[in-house]
């Protein structure tokens, strides 16, 4: 998939969505889309890239649910051969609802309750303990109820921080895992492994966006050396699995890398850590952002334009409620914004410097500041690129803005776009119920007030399939098809 392919696919999806009424200036002024065909190709490249470097190793590529926890997306990734990494009871429930078997679920969290631990161990999910107190809890549970779970410990190799401190998890004082270099911790943890043979795995996640492969390799070297020490003291192969986390950076600056560079990443790790790839361990990965980010986008209408202090400002319907990280940490999480005509065509030509603002009622709700873009006018659209992870899947309910619809898109060979509902647009009635209100008290229901839960009103008369209850959800549901005009 080339740079032109990725941009062309987005425009094709956008124009078809406009034709279908999935994004509409009055009815649905903002919506989000995930290119399922591109995601499937990226996951296939992940499997192939690892297999080339480790043809004899077993692997579980577990998608980090925090990156996109929408159940239909998780179910789709399961169909592509992925497992699921979860970090809360809610994410664990979402993974179960998406159909993941327990042996393909990995449960990480620094704050697991006894209830959560009992549930995960009863299921048989992989559990990575975060600290010594959690190990005590697990031991107490296992003394009463044996579990088929694979159990490991998250290690903090304390090798340093990447380019974004908040996303780095191997610093000297990072909250995650057992810090191996703190006095006495290594010996104490080795003693735990010696006396508890059910500890058969080790885990580390060096960091997310901003951590170079060299830093990841340095951290995993510490982890593998610890695993070898456990085996040496046990006099046998006790460590059966190594969970290397995720953290492959995503290029948010261009479309040059349509697929994540899985092969190059694994080749670099193999050169530094050959024993990780020779088949002695089951290797678990926890990639999230690198799987879906590049293949999702948000489309929002421009409602008004104005000028302040000589600076043009376009007020749109996408802001902090969908791009929370970008609004509050713009230096660390800038995203590309593309201008479109009302029919979805890319808007080209002369550019001016302008701000792109969101709908939230605070001054800092800016998606882009002083950005070179073609002049935007009311009725135009903007797309926020590379937002398939950590953006529209977990909206921020500021100002009680309604959650937008999220749609999966597949492009047929003839250019026909088929949409499926991932998350239906939130209705006023749903919002009121969620916030303790009674929809019956509305004097004027207004738009979207009467939409039943999990249904999208079909603005153009095309049928839109209801989003099923999680327990009924075997896969994404297709509801319509359109060819971009």
Task: Tell how strand 83-86 and strand 105-108 pair up.
Answer: parallel
- Would the CA dihedral through 282, 288, 293, 297 be positive or negative? positive
pLDDT digits (tens, 9 = 90+) for 358-413: 999 999 999 999 999 999 999 999 999 999 999 999 999 999 999 999 999 999 99
Q: Of 476, 375, 380, 472, which is closest to residue 423 (Cα–Cα)?
A: 476
Q: What is the pLDDT of residue 67?
A: 97
Which residues are known to be catalytic? Answer: 361
SS3 261: coil
The kind and range of the H/E element at 11 are helix 3-20
Residue 164: its pLDDT value, please?
57
Q: Which residues of the chain have pLDDT under 50?
A: 4, 452-479, 485
User: Are residues 73 and 393 in contact, defined by beta-carbon separation less than 8 angstroms?
Assistant: yes
CA neighbor of 294 nearest in space, from 261, 272, 320: 261
CA angle 444, 381, 332 (to 5 degrees): 105
DSSP string, 374-438: PPP-TT-EEEE-S-TTTTTTS---GGGPPPPEEEEEEE-TTSEEEEEEEEPPPPHHHHHHHTT--
Burial 242-258 (b: 16+ CB within 10 A, else e): bbbbbbbbbebeebebb
- Kindly list the structural domains of the chain, giving each domain's residue range(s) and its CATH number in brackets, ordered by start: 3-36+293-436+447-483 (2.40.37.10), 37-287 (3.20.20.10)
Please tell me the distance from the alpha carbon of residue 337 to that of residue 385, in angstroms, as a whole number: 6
Instruction: Return the beta strands (E) in 252-387 as ranges.
Output: 282-285, 296-308, 311-316, 337-340, 352-357, 366-373, 381-384
Angle between helices 185-195 and 213-234 (to 10 degrees): 50
Q: What is residue 447's predicted lDDT score, i.e. its pLDDT? A: 61
441 three-state secondary structure: helix
Q: Tokens representing 273? A: 């850590």
pLDDT at 168: 54
User: What pLDDT was estimated at residue 445?
Assistant: 61
DSSP character at residue 207: B
């Amino acid at each position: 998939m080339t740079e032109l392919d990725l941009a062309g696919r987005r425009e094709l999806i956008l124009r078809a969505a406009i034709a279908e009424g999935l994004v509409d200036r009055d009815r649905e002024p903002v919506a989000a889309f995930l290119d399922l065909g591109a995601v499937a190709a990226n996951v296939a490249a992940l499997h192939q890239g690892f297999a080339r470097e480790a043809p004899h190793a077993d692997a579980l590529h577990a998608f980090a649910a925090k990156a996109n926890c929408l159940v239909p997306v998780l179910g789709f990734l399961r169909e592509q051969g992925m497992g699921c990494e979860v970090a809360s009871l809610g994410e664990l429930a979402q993974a179960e609802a998406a159909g993941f078997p327990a042996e393909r679920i990995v449960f990480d969290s620094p704050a697991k309750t006894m209830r959560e631990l009992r549930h995960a161990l009863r299921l048989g999910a992989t559990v990575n303990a975060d600290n010594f107190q959690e190990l005590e809890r697990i031991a107490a549970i296992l003394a009463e109820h044996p579990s088929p779970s694979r159990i490991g410990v998250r290690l903090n190799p304390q090798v340093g921080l990447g380019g974004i401190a908040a996303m780095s998890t191997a610093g000297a004082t990072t909250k995650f895992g057992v810090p191996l270099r703190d006095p006495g911790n290594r010996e104490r943890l080795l003693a735990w492994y010696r006396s508890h043979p059910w500890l058969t795995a080790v885990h580390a996640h060096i960091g997310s966006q901003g951590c170079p492969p060299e830093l990841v390799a340095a951290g995993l070297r510490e982890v593998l050396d610890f695993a070898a020490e456990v085996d040496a003291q046990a006099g046998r192969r006790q460590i059966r699995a190594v969970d290397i986390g995720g953290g492959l950076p995503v290029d948010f600056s261009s479309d040059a890398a349509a697929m994540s560079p899985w092969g190059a990443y694994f080749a670099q790790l193999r050169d530094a850590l050959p024993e990780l790839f020779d088949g002695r361990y089951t290797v678990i990965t926890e990639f999230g952002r690198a799987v879906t980010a590049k293949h999702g986008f948000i489309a929002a209408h421009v409602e008004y334009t104005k000028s302040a202090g000589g600076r043009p400002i376009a007020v749109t319907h996408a802001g902090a409620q969908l791009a929370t990280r970008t609004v509050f940490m713009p230096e660390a999480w800038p995203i590309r914004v593309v201008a479109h005509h009302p029919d979805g065509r890319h808007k080209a030509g002369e550019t001016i410097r302008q701000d792109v603002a969101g709908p939230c009622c605070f001054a800092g709700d800016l998606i882009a500041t002083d950005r070179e873009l073609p002049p935007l006018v009311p009725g135009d659209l903007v797309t926020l690129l590379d937002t398939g992870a950590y953006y529209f899947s977990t909206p921020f309910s500021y100002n009680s803005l309604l959650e937008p619809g999220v749609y999966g898109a597949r492009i047929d060979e003839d250019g026909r776009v088929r949409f499926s509902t991932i998350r239906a647009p939130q209705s006023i009635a749903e919002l009121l119920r969620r916030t303790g209100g009674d929809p019956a008290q509305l004097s004027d229901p207004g738009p979207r007030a009467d939409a039943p839960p999990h249904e999208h009103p079909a603005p153009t008369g095309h049928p839109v399939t209801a989003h099923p209850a999680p327990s009924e959800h075997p896969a994404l549901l297709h509801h319509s098809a359109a060819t971009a005009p």
